[in-house]
Structure 1
Amino acid sequence: MELSQTSWVLAVIGALAVGMAKGGLSMVGMISVPLMSLTMSPVVAAGIMLPVYIVSDIGGLIAFRRSFNRAVLRSMLPGAVAGIGLGWATAHLVNDAAIMLIVGLIGLAFALNALIRPRMSGLRRPSLGAGSFWGAITGYTSFVSHSGAPPYQVYAQPMGMDSRVYAGTTTIFFAIVNGVKLIPYAALGQLNPGNLAISALLCIPGVIGVVLGVRLLRVIPQALFYRIITVLLLLISARLLYAGFTGMGG
């Protein structure tokens, strides 16, 4: 397939955002598919971006190979795999607008709660029940539109992890999720030669974004880090809600 100049610009920005997310600025990557969807089908955008996520994951795994929370990963991954399976099984019934509304509502509720309420005196501990529930939602929404960050953050951010451990846990979790998604994406024809050719070019800004994200993470204070990703979540969730309502109305 061929992309217009505008589509290429948006795709490059999206790839940079994906890389920065894998470099530690977690929520930035969520803008990639919504941004590209301004000029192309969300399904096509998701298919193009998955290989970029995979390549960027490699850089993130190298950067954070010693900084992650095993308990959070163990509690979430089984549910995430189940959520991906559900997405695959219902792929032909998916309504993009409805999924955007669900993801946007989850993210908006969490972001507003985190910004408005007083800071919690106690921290949440990983649990298989809650982790499986939020992991399944994360896996499903990640499968549909690479928008798994809001439900993931609802579960993981209250753990009170150090910013680098949080970034590493997020990177490793989504690296595994994206690896699992390769199977259904290939089966559904989203990894076709045309999409892969574009993906290969976009991997370059994706890798650049990883380096940029890692460097920015080193200079951003932890409190500011959490504030930034929460505000980003709020803005992106609002954008998803708008897109969802517009799509439902259309």
Structure 2
Amino acid sequence: MELFSWQVFCVAAPAVIFAGVSKAGFGSGAAFASATILLLVIEPGQALGVMLPLLMLVDTSSLPAYWRKWSWPDAALLLAGAVPGTLLGALFYARSDPDMIRLLIGVISVGFVAWQGWQTYGRRGRAVRRFGVVAGWVSGGVLGFTSFVSHAGGPAAAIFLLGRGLDKTRYQATTVLVFWAVNIIKAAFYAAMGIFTVESLLFDIALAPFALLGTWLGIRAHGIVPERVFFGLTYVLLVVTGGKLIWDGLS
């Protein structure tokens, strides 16, 4: 189906708003679903190429709201793993079936929520174990790889950062910083591999106002929603996105 059609635009506009809200306010946990929604009406390569510039616009426009509120040590751990993970994603993009990766990350995401609930409520008040350096590198590698092949790096980032015990603003600011950097790296590879086209970039211009609207809504929602509710919503997003990844991997 052609990008510039009412059918595609009516699907893409709300999907982009959803991505902006998720990335700017709720840690990117479900932003990847926008690309999945686009797959209903356009080809996978087109969906990836359309979404990346819009995700970068959301990153850039939301970064000032969280400037220097991030946890740099945690961001550095994720980025240290994300760089080689992105390189692997680029190497295997053309020849690898991403369904097994989606299935694996989906199982890990849903399993993490169950594990975190057991740690919090099933151990009679004992402190929740915090993830360490190795977990950060591994999560970053998975983040980079899955982000490249399907824009699905949010769950990997959430698993690590939720396991580090950050408050909601430091958590959100760290995800914004990490994905801002990772998406810049991805864009260079996407351009070299011909994933971007003139048509997709023109379509991005038409969708840019919806990305900015979603960003504004996400930032406002982040400031209004209490911390307990925020993390509860993040766990819900992890289950939803993990479940969607499992469904995509199996189907």
Asked whether the equivalents of residues 107 and 246 of structure 2 are also in contact (C-alpha less than 8 Å), the reply is yes
In structure 1, distance between residues paired with 2:41 and 2:103: 20
Aligned partner of 2:130 in structure 1 is 124
Aligned partner of 2:160 in structure 1 is 155
Question: Percent identity between the aligned chains?
Answer: 28
**Unaligned regions of 5+ residues in structure 2, if any?**
none
Deviation at 1:126, TM superposition (A): 4.8
Aligned partner of 1:172 in structure 2 is 177
Deviation at 1:89, TM superposition (A): 1.1
2:14 is the counterpart of 1:13: yes
In structure 2, distance between residues paired with 1:242 and 1:165: 31
In structure 2, distance between residues paired with 1:165 and 1:118: 20
Aligned partner of 2:86 in structure 1 is 84
**1:101-159 Cα deviation digits (max 9, x unpaired):** 122222121123234543561452652x2211110010000000110011111111111
Normalization by structure 1: what TM-score? Answer: 0.92
Distance 1:72 1:20, change over 3 A: same
In structure 1, distance between residues paired with 2:241 and 2:101: 14
Asked whether the equivalents of residues 120 and 128 of structure 2 are also in contact (C-alpha less than 8 Å), the reply is no
Helix, strand or coil for the counterpart of 1:102? helix
In structure 1, distance between residues paired with 2:129 and 2:174: 17
Q: Match for 1:21: what amino acid?
A: S
Q: 1:92-111 alignment to 2 at 5 Å?
A: 92-111=94-113
- Comparing 87-96 with 221-230, greater Cα deviation is found at 87-96
Q: 1:43 aligns with which of 45, 51, 54?
A: 45
Asked whether the equivalents of residues 23 and 210 of structure 1 are also in contact (C-alpha less than 8 Å), the reply is yes
2:232 is the counterpart of 1:230: no
RMSD: 1.7
Distance 1:192 1:7, change over 3 A: same
- Comparing 49-58 with 38-47, greater Cα deviation is found at 38-47
Aligned partner of 2:210 in structure 1 is 205
Helix, strand or coil for the counterpart of 2:31? helix
Asked whether the equivalents of residues 49 and 195 of structure 2 are also in contact (C-alpha less than 8 Å), the reply is yes
In structure 2, distance between residues paired with 1:38 and 1:22: 22
Q: 1:41-80 alignment to 2 at 5 Å?
A: 41-80=43-82
**1:63-120 Cα deviation digits (max 9, x unpaired):** 1013100110111112101001001111221213223212222212112323454356
2:34 is the counterpart of 1:29: no
In structure 2, distance between residues paired with 1:3 and 1:102: 35
Normalization by structure 2: what TM-score? Answer: 0.91
**1:37-59 Cα deviation digits (max 9, x unpaired):** 12222222111000001111111
Q: Match for 2:171: what amino acid?
A: Y
**Unaligned regions of 5+ residues in structure 1, if any?**
none
Q: How many residue pairs get matched?
A: 245
Asked whether the equivalents of residues 32 and 150 of structure 2 are also in contact (C-alpha less than 8 Å), the reply is no
Q: Match for 2:120: what amino acid?
A: P
In structure 1, distance between residues paired with 2:119 and 2:171: 21
In structure 2, distance between residues paired with 1:123 and 1:223: 19
